[in-house]
Amino acid sequence: MDKFEHDTFVVLDVPPPQAEGVNRVRAGNAYPMTEPVTISVAGSSGVGVFSDDQRPSEAFGILDALALRTAPIAAEFSSVHRWPGTEIFVFTLTDEEPFRALHEVLAASRLKFRESPFPYRPHCTFRITAPRDEPHAQELSRLTLPGRFLLDQMSVYGWRKLPSGEVDCPHYHRVTLSGCDDA
C-alpha cells in the first residue's frame, strides 16, 4: 500500500468485556456501522486524519517506535457527552490525561495529519442518529458502562462509506503498547 485510500485514524482498541458492553448499547440504539469499539487518539478531533502524503509504512514504523515507549492505559468510562449541534453521543473517560498525553505525542511526532477544527477529547462513540425525542435523549445521557479496563493495543483503521450506505472500517495496523509506567 503506497498511500492511505480512506480517512484513517489512530485508536486504542477497547477490550472485552467493555467492548461487548458498548456493542450492546450500540445495538440497542440502531448504530448503523460495524466499526470496532475504540477510543480515538488521532483523527476525529485534535489532529485530523492522516494527511494524503503520509506513507503507511512510515506511519506504522513511527507508531511501532512510539508503542515501545508508551505504557498501556488503565481506563474507565465516565459520563455520556453529546457533541453540541449533533446527534453524536459518546462515552467519555474518567481520566482523560493519559489519552491527551498520547495524543500530544502523536501530534508532535513525524506523523503527518490533516487539520481538524475540533479540540481533542477522548471518547467512544455509541450513537450517531437522532434520539426519538427529548426523553430518549435524556435516557441516553444517563447511560453508564462501569468497570476498569486496560488499553494495550493501538490500531490504525480506515473509514469509508460504501455505495450501500454502510460504513466499512478496514484495519491497517496494530501494535502493542509495551512501555513502562515510571510513576
Report residue 9 as a C-alpha cell. Answer: 485514524
**What tens digit of pLDDT does each residue of 22-70 get?**
998 888 877 766 778 999 999 988 999 999 999 999 999 999 999 999 9
Distance of CA 76 to the CA centre of its chain: 14
Domains and CATH numbers, the chain: 7-41+52-176 (3.90.1140.10)
Q: What DSSP string runs through 38-87?
A: EEEEESSSSEEEEPTT--HHHHHHHHHHHHHT---EEEEEEEEEE-TTSS
Check if the beta carbon of residue 98 is closer than 8 Å to that of residue 153. no
Which are the contacts of 100, defined by CB distance < 8 A and separation ≥ 6? 120, 122
In angstroms, the CA 144 to CA 141 distance is 9
Sequence-separated (6 or more) residues with CB below 8 Å from residue 166: 32, 33, 34
Mean pLDDT of the region 154-179? 89
**What kind and span of H or E run contains 10?**
strand 7-13
Q: Is the pLDDT of residue 180 over 90?
A: no
pLDDT in tens, 71-124: 999 999 999 998 888 888 899 999 999 999 999 999 999 999 999 998 999 999
How many angstroms separate the CA atoms of 139 and 25, rounded? 12
